[in-house]
Amino acid sequence: MADPQRPDLDPASVPTWEEVAHTHGRFLYSLAYRLTGNHQDTQDLVQEVLLRVRRGLLTYQPGNLEGWLSRITTNTFLDRVRKQKRRPTQALPDDPDRVIAGVPSLEEQMAASDLPDHLQQLLADLAPDFRVPVILKDVLGYSYEEIAQQLDVPIGTVRSRIHRGRGRLKAALTT
Amino acid sequence: MTASDFLPEEDWESDISALLGGLPNVAPPDGFITEALDHRPLHAGRLVAGLGAAVFVAFGVAIGLGGFGQSSVVPELSALNAQHAAASAGGLGTASYDSDDESADDAVEVAPNLDLQARIVREEDLRQAVYDVGGDQVSIFSQPGVVDFDELPSGTIITIEGVTAWEAADDNVVVLQTADYAVTIIGLEPAEVERAIADIPGQGTAAAVGRLVNEFTSQLGFPDLP
């Protein structure tokens, strides 16, 4: 799958820490930003991820480097969420089919010039358990199976969380 | 792709997916990656400075004070965890648990210029410093001897800045071997420990450690280096 947010990778070799940072730093930063929603937390997260990467490279087996980096990033993010007990997430409406009359359609929303920022804010308002799989699926394009492996949860749980996460986003966009 | 990826999604789900898929890349600020590689703290500010100081003290004391022999040590993690929990529950600056060492309360103020609070409790050879770092409480225990890593519970042996360490599988517990001391750090994620150590200026040089130890030992209640 060609995706501009996913860098080209050489699965046959083990890169150095510096190579990972320079080659995949943009990927890590972009993913971290989608997870955290702000640059300060993103930079803290990426720093921590890079340290874990450096340690992990000692035992890394050549393979899906991108998936490995993504797993480290999401796990580090979730660890930080659990540890820091960040600001309470704002509960969004739980009914994905609820549409209020007279509000812009999704197509109209898509055309809005400030949609990326707005969408990012809505992502940030999602509970992390929904936010992470939605980002992995819809922003990065991973399969349900890959996400289940990364997050170490059943695939049914992944599907459910993504469905509910999307539903909350839809409800928020149409209110 | 798996079979479950081909299960039909409702139209609105495809719309949301398309919206998210269209989000642009977010580039890091110029120089950020290079700075991150250099371990320079960016925004962590008090946290990194505090952790650096805390671990610096632990390293300095551990490395600077020798002479306890090389007996094998297996930190009693459950007991240390309980001691950490007891200290954390009581908060800093209050008598939260008993210690026969009356001098412990005299050693509370450690490195006040670094915005840290700490309590040192000495029970026989075991020393505990409890730090309040950004609202989180962190205990650093030191005890003389050589860590028997083989006897520690399931975990991972790692190397942090040339120092052998063990990290717990689930809890935020790191055990380090420094010179003649076993150092157990409870309350920090291993990556934070690593970052703190990496941020220590001059760490690894005996002279720098010696200067640091001499700077702090009077407040810690430990003897100065010879």
pLDDT in tens, A24-67: 999 999 999 999 999 988 988 898 888 888 878 877 888 888 88
DSSP string, B1-44: --GGGGS---HHHHHHHHHHHTPPP-PPPTTHHHHHHTT--SS-
Residue B15 lies in a domain: no
Residues of chain A with CATH 1.10.10.10: 92-175
- B203 contacts B99 by C-beta, under 8 angstroms: no
- A124 contacts A37 by C-beta, under 8 angstroms: yes
What's the confidence (pLDDT) of residue B145? 79
- B26 contacts A30 by C-beta, under 8 angstroms: yes
| The residue to which tokens 């359609």 are assigned | A105
* Chain B residues inside the 8 Å CB shell of A55: 158, 160, 190-191, 194
What's the confidence (pLDDT) of residue A143? 93
What's the confidence (pLDDT) of residue B158? 75
Q: How far is CA B210 from CA A24, B132, B206, B213, in A?
A: 39, 25, 6, 5
Residues of chain A with CATH 1.10.1740.10: 9-86
Residue B183 lies in a domain: yes
Query: Worst-scoring range by mean pLDDT, A82-86, B48-52, B147-151, B188-192?
Result: B48-52
Bridge-based pairing state of the strands B146-147 and B72-73: parallel
Whether chain A has a CB inside 8 Å of the CB on B162: the answer is no
pLDDT band at A13 (very low <50, low <70, confident <90, very high): confident
| CATH topology assigned to domain A9-86 | Rna Polymerase Sigma Factor; Chain: A (1.10.1740)
Mutate one of A40, A108, A138 to test the B interface: name it (highest B CB count within 10 A). A138
**Average pLDDT along chain A:** 78
Q: State how far the Cα of A66 lies from the Cα of B106, in Å rounded to an integer.
A: 52
Residue B171 lies in a domain: yes
Find the domain containing B100 and state its range.
37-220
Residues 25-44 of B with CB under 8 A from A: 25-29, 32-33, 36-37, 42-44
Residue B13 lies in a domain: no
pLDDT band at A118 (very low <50, low <70, confident <90, very high): confident
What DSSP designation does A113 have? Answer: T
What are A134's two structure tokens?
């939605």
**Cβ–Cβ of B23/A139 closer than 8 Å?**
yes
Residue B168 lies in a domain: yes
Q: Which of A74-83, A159-168, B6-15, B94-103 reaches the highest mean pLDDT?
A: A159-168
What's the confidence (pLDDT) of residue A58? 78
B159 vs B43: which has the higher pLDDT: B159
Residue B81 lies in a domain: yes
The answer, yes or no, to whether residue B116 has pLDDT greater than 70, is no
What are B95's two structure tokens?
């008598």
The number of folded domains in chain B is 1
Tens-place pLDDT, residues B44-75: 333 444 455 555 555 544 444 433 446 888 99
Sheet holding B173-178, edge to edge: B118-123, B126-133, B136-144, B181-186, B173-178, B163-168, B155-160
| CATH topology assigned to domain A92-175 | Arc Repressor Mutant, subunit A (1.10.10)
Q: HSE of A94 in the Cβ direction (CA atoms, 13 Å)? A: 4
> Percent of chain B beyond pLDDT 70?
41
B196 vs B220: which has the higher pLDDT: B196
Q: Which of B35-44, B53-62, B116-125, B164-173 reaches the highest mean pLDDT?
A: B164-173
Helix (H, G, I), strand (E, B), or coil: what is residue B185? Answer: strand
Residues 45-64 of A with CB under 8 A from B: 46-48, 50-52, 55, 58
Mean pLDDT, rounded, for B100-127: 45
Q: How far is CA B101 from CA A33, B83, B112, B127, B129, in A?
A: 49, 15, 22, 11, 14
What's the confidence (pLDDT) of residue A137? 94
The answer, yes or no, to whether residue A4 has pLDDT greater than 70, is no
B56 vs B167: which has the higher pLDDT: B167
The candidate with the shortest Cα–Cα distance to B175, out of B136, B209, B142, is B142
The candidate with the shortest Cα–Cα distance to A158, out of A170, A140, A145, A168, is A145
CA distance, residue B177 to nearest chain A CA (Å):
17
Query: Worst-scoring range by mean pLDDT, A70-84, B97-111, B148-162?
Result: B97-111
Q: State how far the Cα of A77 lies from the Cα of A117, in Å rounded to an integer.
A: 20
What's the confidence (pLDDT) of residue B133? 58
